[in-house]
Amino acid sequence: MSKDISLAVTDGSGANKLQKTGIALLAFGVLATIIAAFGAGATQPVLFFWLSIGFISAGTLVYAYPYFQHEAGIKNNNIFKNGMTNRGAIAWFTGLVLTGFYIILYWFPQYLEGLIRMCDPLSWLLRNKAADQWFLYGTLYTLAVLVMGFRFIGKYRHNRYQIIRTLSVMFFQLGFAFVLPGLLLMFNEPEFYFSYFWPLKYGYLWPNDINYVISSGGLGYFMIFWGAILTFIATPLLTYKYGKRWYCSWVCGCGGLAETMGDPYRQLSDKSLKAWKIERYTVHGVLVFIIITTIMLWLNSAWEGGLLGTWSGNFSQWYGFFIGSIFSGVIGTGFYPIFGNRVWCRFGCPMAAILGLFQRFKSKFRITTNGGQCISCGNCSTYCEMGIDVRAYAQKGKNIIRASCVGCGVCSAVCPRGVLNLENLRDEK
């Protein structure tokens, strides 16, 4: 027998021990969070910040570490045998806790006072002002993207596209959606997110927001200019060249959370034809709605309220409530463990709708299929977070050009026969 042949038949990864340690740290962090919420966070913010957020992060990192120890490759073992990732009781529990957290965050922030105060030291450091519920939310959100991004990189470390893409969403969340807006506040500039644009951040082209940003002077004008350029010039241009993935799975914060914290749930998206039909109505419906709202707000502003009175204001408030809060937050994120990680992006996001229209009708981006090599196994469709039946195209040897595809590249990664590839066709002369 050759010396290349191992005689050892142990798993040898130590995964179980490490993962138990991780769970213990996580449990300790959750406990500390509960204590902090009951008031200890207000009295000893620094201590509880570390006990809570520090231990939760450390626990998750330790739990995810075994991904780096195993042979690099696809690691989807037991996903459909684990209640957490297969809509078991623990998944419903998690979904309800997350949903409840959103409801409290949006409408009853007074109950989060202990946790908000716990974030004061960081808030003062970064923004030179006290924390509020949105700073708490931003902190947790960013940590989730970073910590679960680490896990994602471990899981897909055989695939350089996945590693670089994940580093990108981690960078944009931390830098553009957390640190930079905080620093702007510290320097008494308007809070502005350079990685969000109309129509996802619908306010950025609404008269009220524009007036608020411009009132700060020079930098404000740049912000409006930036937002307008990104919406009207960069969006069509970049989507033409690279598909909507340049935004949805590389930059966007919602996408960033979906790709990192939401990765364990990507297989739960509905792949039926019926779901696709519903998707096309809802996502384009929201887009039409936001365009109408924006136009009305501008008309109303031009006529100084004479045209629609307060009606357009109400309209925009309702949009904010139903779409901005309930759809994108409560359902979009709260229900990760039940409906999958891209419910908002697929059924609701107006930005995804616009990018999708460009991608479908005017883009170089497509998923190409390698000849007749498809074995119809279904890994691609199962792990498509947007619920695209990728296999239906691959088994016919057809390229995939779908409005909803966010270009995450996981179909290509999980394909056991190397059939799928994300490509930007070069300009043919």
Partner 1 sequence: MKVVIIGNGISGITTARHIRKLSNHEILVISSETEHFFSRTALMYIYMGHMKYEHTKPYEDWFWEKNRIDLLFANVAQVQAKQKQLQLEDGRMITFDKLVIATGSTPKTLEWPGLNLKGVQGLYSKQDVDLMEENTKDITDAVIVGGGLIGIEMAEMLRSRNINVHFLIREQYYWNSVLPKEEASLINKHIAAHHIHLYANTQLKEIIGDENGKVKAVITHDGKKIACQFVGLTIGVNPNINFLQNSEIETDRGVLINEYLETNHPDIYAVGDCAQFRHPKNLHPAVEQLWYTGKMQAETLAQNICGDKRAYERGIWFNSAKFLDIEYQTYGFMFNKPLEDEQSFYWEHPKGKIACRINFKAISKAVTGFNFLGMRFRQQTANDWIKNETPLQNVMQELEKGFFDPEFFENHYLAIVEKFNTDYPEMAISVKKKKKFLIW
CB count in 10 Å sphere of residue 277: 10
- Beta strand extents in 339-381 (DSSP E only): 365-369
Between the alpha carbon of residue 221 and those of residues 93, 189, 214, the distances in Å are: 46, 12, 5
From 266, 241, 239, 240, select the one nearest 252 (Cα to Cα): 239
Query: At its nearest, how many Å lie between partner 1 and the CB of residue 146?
Result: 21
Size of the site for partner 1 (CB under 8 A): 53
Quick note: the x/- pattern for partner 1 over 358-397, rule CB under 8 A, is: ------------xxxx-xxxxx-xx--------xx--x--
In DSSP terms, which residues pair with 424 in a beta bridge? 365
Query: At its nearest, how many Å lie between partner 1 and the CB of residue 407?
Result: 10
Query: At its nearest, how many Å lie between partner 1 and the CB of residue 162?
Result: 8
The reply to whether 69 sits near partner 1 by the rule CB under 8 A is no
The reply to whether 426 sits near partner 1 by the rule CB under 8 A is yes
Give the type of residue at 189.
E
Instruction: Rank residues 296 and 375 by Cβ distance to partner 1 and give the closer one.
Output: 375
The reply to whether 2 sits near partner 1 by the rule CB under 8 A is yes
Instruction: Rank residues 10 and 188 by Cβ distance to partner 1 and give the closer one.
Output: 10
Euclidean distance between CA atoms 163 and 177, whole angstroms: 20
From 17-25, 57-65, 78-86, 192-200, span contacting partner 1 (CB under 8 A): 78-86
The reply to whether 277 sits near partner 1 by the rule CB under 8 A is no
Between the alpha carbon of residue 203 and those of residues 28, 113, 217, 298, the distances in Å are: 40, 27, 18, 12
Instruction: Rank residues 82 and 310 by Cβ distance to partner 1 and give the closer one.
Output: 82
Determine contact, residues 95/334, Cβ cutoff 8 Å.
yes
Instruction: Rank residues 76 and 208 by Cβ distance to partner 1 and give the closer one.
Output: 76
Euclidean distance between CA atoms 3 and 12, whole angstroms: 19
The reply to whether 249 sits near partner 1 by the rule CB under 8 A is no
**190 upstream amide cis, omega within 30 of 0:** no
> 280-298 burial, b if ≥16 CB within 10 A, otherwise e?
eeebbebbebbeebbebbe
Instruction: Rank residues 99 and 382 by Cβ distance to partner 1 and give the closer one.
Output: 382
Q: Which of 30, 42, 47, 79 binds partner 1 (CB under 8 A)?
A: 79
Instruction: Rank residues 44 and 168 by Cβ distance to partner 1 and give the closer one.
Output: 168
Q: Which of 187, 215, 218, 273 binds partner 1 (CB under 8 A)?
A: 273
As a whole number of Å, the end-to-end CA separation of the chain is 58
Residues 81-110 that bind partner 1 (CB under 8 A): 81-82
Residues 402-421 that bind partner 1 (CB under 8 A): 409, 412-413, 416-418, 421
The reply to whether 12 sits near partner 1 by the rule CB under 8 A is yes
Instruction: Rank residues 219 and 377 by Cβ distance to partner 1 and give the closer one.
Output: 377
Euclidean distance between CA atoms 151 and 262, whole angstroms: 11
The reply to whether 429 sits near partner 1 by the rule CB under 8 A is no
Instruction: Rank residues 123 and 412 by Cβ distance to partner 1 and give the closer one.
Output: 412
Which value, in Å, is the radius of gyration of the alpha carbons in the chain?
A: 23
Query: At its nearest, how many Å lie between partner 1 and the CB of residue 337?
Result: 17
From 10-18, 110-118, 119-127, 146-154, span contacting partner 1 (CB under 8 A): 10-18
Q: Which of 78, 110, 188, 215 binds partner 1 (CB under 8 A)?
A: 78
Determine contact, residues 169/249, Cβ cutoff 8 Å.
yes
Query: At its nearest, how many Å lie between partner 1 and the CB of residue 84?
Result: 12
H helices of 216-305, in order, are 218-229, 235-242, 245-248, 253-260, 273-302
45-53, long-range: CB within 8 Å, 24+ apart, which pairs?
Answer: 45/117, 45/118, 45/119, 45/120, 45/121, 46/121, 48/118, 49/118, 49/119, 49/121, 49/122, 52/115, 52/118, 53/29, 53/139, 53/140, 53/143
Q: Which of 160, 306, 361, 428 binds partner 1 (CB under 8 A)?
A: 160
Quick note: the x/- pattern for partner 1 over 307-346, rule CB under 8 A, is: ----------------------------------------
Determine contact, residues 343/226, Cβ cutoff 8 Å.
no
The reply to whether 159 sits near partner 1 by the rule CB under 8 A is yes
Query: At its nearest, how many Å lie between partner 1 and the CB of residue 79?
Result: 6
Give the footprint of partner 1 on this chain (CB under 8 A).
1-2, 4-12, 71-74, 76-82, 158-161, 164, 272-273, 370-373, 375-379, 381-382, 391-392, 395, 409, 412-413, 416-418, 421-422, 424, 426
